[in-house]
């Protein structure tokens, strides 16, 4: 969704889109998601030096509550945030923590059947795949090469 229509929708619903909230959404949109609150805070501070981490965090919470932003837990102790853009899953890098969107859901009938059979009410689910991203793997290769004392000939 484009940011302008998102902001329009929020305003229509009576939500006050302050310049900081707008900036917050812009940052998330631009980055294609998966930023930690600290990342977002750093970026906002670049143009609004007086902003506090608490305010940024509170605004993130409000936007999550509105369903505009989704909070993600990649089990590394840092929540990530992304603009809500339909249900999807992630490939998460164990090294740098970056995530790649997987545009499908592996949630299966077996799971819902098991839930029904056990009178279990499903509220939500996570499915994240962990590994190493291309960039980190390249870096890792370079480090190995250096350790071996090999130098590329130019």
Using CB under 5 A as the binding rule, whether residue 115 contacts Zn ion is answered as no
Using CB under 5 A as the binding rule, whether residue 32 contacts Zn ion is answered as no
Q: d(Cα 40, Cα 64) in Å, to the nearest integer?
A: 14
Single out the residue of 10, 40, 60, 133 in contact with Zn ion (rule: CB under 5 A): 133
Give the angle 125-94-106 at the CA atoms, nearest 5°.
Answer: 30
Using CB under 5 A as the binding rule, whether residue 130 contacts Zn ion is answered as no
Residue 86 region by backbone torsions, left for phi larger than 0, else alpha for psi between -120 and 50, else beta: left
Q: How far is the CB of 96 from Zn ion (least distance, A)?
A: 3
Walk across the sheet containing 99-102 and list its strands.
99-102, 89-93, 128-131
C-alpha pair distances (Å), 95 with each of 120, 125, 136:
36, 24, 7
Our CB check for Zn ion shows the closer of 46 and 116 to be: 116
Phi, psi of 122, rounded to the nearest 5 degrees? -85, 125
Using CB under 5 A as the binding rule, whether residue 96 contacts Zn ion is answered as yes
Using CB under 5 A as the binding rule, whether residue 64 contacts Zn ion is answered as no
Q: How far is the CB of 58 from Zn ion (least distance, A)?
A: 23
Single out the residue of 38, 73, 76, 95 in contact with Zn ion (rule: CB under 5 A): 95
Instruction: List contacts with Zn ion (CB under 5 A).
Output: 33, 82, 93, 95-96, 101, 105, 107, 133, 136
């Amino acid at each position: 969704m484009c940011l302008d229509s998102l902001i329009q929708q929020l305003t229509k619903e009576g939500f006050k889109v302050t310049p900081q909230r707008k900036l917050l959404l812009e940052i998330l949109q631009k980055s294609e998601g998966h930023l930690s609150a600290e990342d977002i805070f750093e970026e906002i501070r670049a143009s609004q030096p007086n902003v506090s981490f608490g305010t940024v965090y509170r605004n993130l919470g409000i936007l999550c509550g509105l369903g505009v932003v989704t909070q993600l837990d990649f089990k590394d102790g840092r929540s990530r945030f992304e603009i809500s853009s339909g249900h999807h899953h992630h490939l998460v890098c164990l090294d740098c923590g970056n995530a790649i969107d997987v545009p499908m859901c592996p949630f299966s009938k077996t799971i819902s059947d098991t839930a029904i059979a056990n009178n279990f009410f499903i509220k939500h689910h996570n499915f994240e795949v962990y590994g190493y991203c291309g960039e980190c793997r390249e870096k890792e290769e370079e480090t190995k090469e250096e350790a071996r004392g090999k130098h590329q000939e130019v």
